[in-house]
Amino acid sequence: SQQGEEDPQALSIQEGENATMNCSYKTSINNLQWYRQNSGRGLVHLILIRSNEREKHSGRLRVTLDTSKKSSSLLITASRAADTASYFCATDTQGAQKLVFGQGTRLTINP
Amino acid sequence: KAGVTQTPRYLIKTRGQQVTLSCSPISGHRSVSWYQQTPGQGLQFLFEYFSETQRNKGNFPGRFSGRQFSNSRSEMNVSTLELGDSALYLCASSLTGLHEQYFGPGTRLTVT
């Protein structure tokens, strides 16, 4: 079963707009990561946020973590066509020692 | 620095056959994890190897097995293939295992 669930499942926006996707999880985590996958290829690591952190930035990416609500959000600002991809959150839970991925959000950036 | 490589990239097998997939991690990475990705089940963790030892295992039947060599290269084997084993198999390497995994391009397995 999936630990993380992304919302929305699909998102389509215009180039230049901001894209926000959310991830909810069920059990306490050590860390939460976001990955990007382009059309059936390998995943690319974007950012890791630890359970004791609330917000993290990397370039045009902003990730927030709310452990009380067991949720995280990924914001991509000033979107570009190259951001078109599927985005996955992945959690490693206390005691489980493995990464569990959500179902992903498919993001489409329209020119 | 070379990325994670997986061979072969595409494979077509028949039900009942077995298959071996190979993964070469980034130089210096001792952890290799394997995942199965399907449209229905998403990304599911198969197992993780660290310094030639299986450290973690997902909820897959014993038909799925793997190993890691002293140079950190890893192989996974699936015996008695079933139609439901058709998937993209991804391997990922990292320094520690759980953080910042680097993925290969995957092996697309089709079972007919």
pLDDT in tens, B42-98: 999 999 999 999 998 999 999 999 999 999 999 999 999 999 999 999 999 999 877
* Residue in B33, B43, B92 nearest the CB of A88: B43
* Residue in A2, A35, A98 nearest the CB of B56: A98
Task: Grade residue A98 by pLDDT with cuts at 50, 70 and 90.
Answer: confident
In 3D, which of B109, B111, B96, B107 has the Cα closest to residue B7?
Answer: B107
Other beta carbons within 10 Å of B58: 16
What is the spatial distance between Cα A3 and Cα B41, in angstroms, rounded to a whole number?
Answer: 12
Q: What is the reported pLDDT for A3?
A: 61
DSSP SS3 for B17: coil
pLDDT at residue A60 greater than cutoff 60: yes
Establish if A100 touches chain B: CB-CB under 8 angstroms: yes
CB A98 within 8 A of CB B45: yes
Mean pLDDT of B3-8: 96
Kindly report which listed range (B6-10, B80-84, B97-101) carries the lowest average pLDDT score.
B97-101
Per-residue model confidence as pLDDT tens digits over B21-44: 999 999 999 999 999 999 988 999
Mean pLDDT of A23-38: 93
Q: What is the reported pLDDT for A45?
A: 95
Task: Grade residue A39 by pLDDT with cuts at 50, 70 and 90.
Answer: confident
What is the spatial distance between Cα A65 and Cα A57, in angstroms, rounded to a whole number?
Answer: 12
Q: What is the reported pLDDT for A110?
A: 95
CA distance A7 to chain B (A): 15
Q: What is the reported pLDDT for A1?
A: 45
- Give the C-alpha distances (Å, rounded to integers) separating A86 from A69, B14, B78: 24, 30, 27
What is the spatial distance between Cα B77 and Cα B96, in angstroms, rounded to a whole number?
Answer: 23
DSSP SS3 for B29: coil
* Residue in B33, B35, B42 nearest the CB of A104: B42
- The most distant pair of C-alpha atoms in chain B lies apart, rounded to whole Å, by 39
CA distance B104 to chain A (A): 5
Q: Are the beta carbons of A97 and B108 separated by less than 8 Å? A: no
Kindly report which listed range (A2-6, A89-93, B11-15, B83-87) carries the lowest average pLDDT score.
A2-6
Q: What is the reported pLDDT for A94?
A: 72
Q: Which amino acid is at B111?
A: V
CB A29 within 8 A of CB A97: no
- Give the C-alpha distances (Å, rounded to integers) separating A103 from A3, A75, B11, B50: 9, 18, 25, 26
pLDDT at residue A76 greater than cutoff 80: yes
What is the spatial distance between Cα A101 and Cα A85, in angstroms, rounded to a whole number?
Answer: 16
What is the spatial distance between Cα B56 and Cα A5, in angstroms, rounded to a whole number?
Answer: 23
What is the spatial distance between Cα B10 and Cα B12, in angstroms, rounded to a whole number?
Answer: 7
- Residues listed for chain B: 112
Establish if B107 touches chain A: CB-CB under 8 angstroms: no
Output the average pLDDT for chain A. Answer: 92
pLDDT at residue A14 greater than cutoff 70: yes
